[in-house]
Amino acid sequence: MELKTIAKIINDFDSKFAVPRQSGLTNELQSKIVFEKEYANEAAFKRIDEYSHLWLIWGFSLNSHEASSLTVRPPRLGGNERVGVFASRSPYRPNPIGLSSVKLEKVEKDTNGNISLIVSGADLVSGTPIYDIKPYISFTDCHTDAVCGYADEKKDYCLKVDIAQNLLDMVDENKQKAFLNILSGDPRPAYHNDDRQYGFSFAGMEIKFCVKGDTLTVLEIDNG
């Protein structure tokens, strides 16, 4: 089976580090889904605005190598415990395909009649290829009695964030809340857990930080 890229997502996540670990964790930031010309036809989106949420099926395009193991080490388990690849959401899978639930904020149409979608809650790096979109249907897709294994145990994990006001003021006011959520979610690369200096890109800025204990301290922000 050949998967066709129907669209790409555009947002402030410039690199895979600091991208939310799950969809729906950073709802304050919006993303734009820009479709390939053949799929941007308004007919393909008839009645999509009747849905509040969508499923995105997409590809882990930044994976540098194929999955070579049937077990993975989830970061939320400290990177030391292995679980089965099918018991995780690791990007290193037999087929590097991701699934995310996002909120549909708006359907846009440009002067040429091409459709794009504005969504929130995405956990995709900017430029990620999207292979399909399906509506989220609550009476079948939501299971209120679901048991979520070790993910339930770690869902409340977060760091305290220490950032000087002059540094926070460098971030667009409309993005500050999302930025702080990203920091509290621990944007260090998987399996790293020490007090060295780290960095990541966000909204065109380079962020430098370190973590000691349960506190993340922002050291520097370079907006170019």
Q: What is the pLDDT of residues 49-87, one digit of tens each?
A: 999 999 999 999 887 667 678 998 877 676 678 899 999
Instruction: Region of 191 please: left (phi>0), alpha (psi -120 to 50) or beta.
Output: left
Of 150 and 198, the structure prediction assigns the larger pLDDT to: 198
pLDDT of residue 192: 62
Q: Residue 184 carries which DSSP code?
A: H
Q: Which residue has the tokens 């506190």?
A: 215
pLDDT at 140: 95
Which CATH homologous superfamily contains domain 157-222? RelE-like (3.30.2310.20)
Q: DSSP state, 42?
A: G
- Banded pLDDT at 135 (limits 50, 70, 90): very high
Render the burial of 190-215: b for 16+ CB within 10 Å, e for the rest: beeeeeeebebbbbebebebbbeeee
**Burial (0-12, 13-18, 19+ Cβ within 10 Å), 68:** exposed
Q: What is residue 153's predicted lDDT score, i.e. its pLDDT?
A: 73
Band of residue 97 on the pLDDT scale cut at 50, 70, 90: very high
pLDDT at 143: 92
Query: What's the CA gap between 156 and 154, in Å, rounded?
Result: 6
Closest CA to 100 of 80, 72, 128, 67: 128
| Cβ 137 vs Cβ 56: under 8 Å | no
* Structure token pair of residue 131: 């292979």
| CATH homologous superfamily for the domain 7-60+96-141 | YaeB-like (2.40.30.70)
What value does the mean pLDDT take over residues 139-145? Answer: 93
The domain spans of the chain are 7-60+96-141, 157-222
Q: What is the token pair recorded at 177?
A: 């809340």
% of the chain with per-residue pLDDT over 70 = 94
Q: Is pLDDT above 80 for 129?
A: yes
Going by pLDDT thresholds of 50, 70 and 90, the confidence category of residue 185 is confident
193 has a pLDDT exceeding 80: no
Question: Tokens 């990177």 label which residue?
Answer: 79
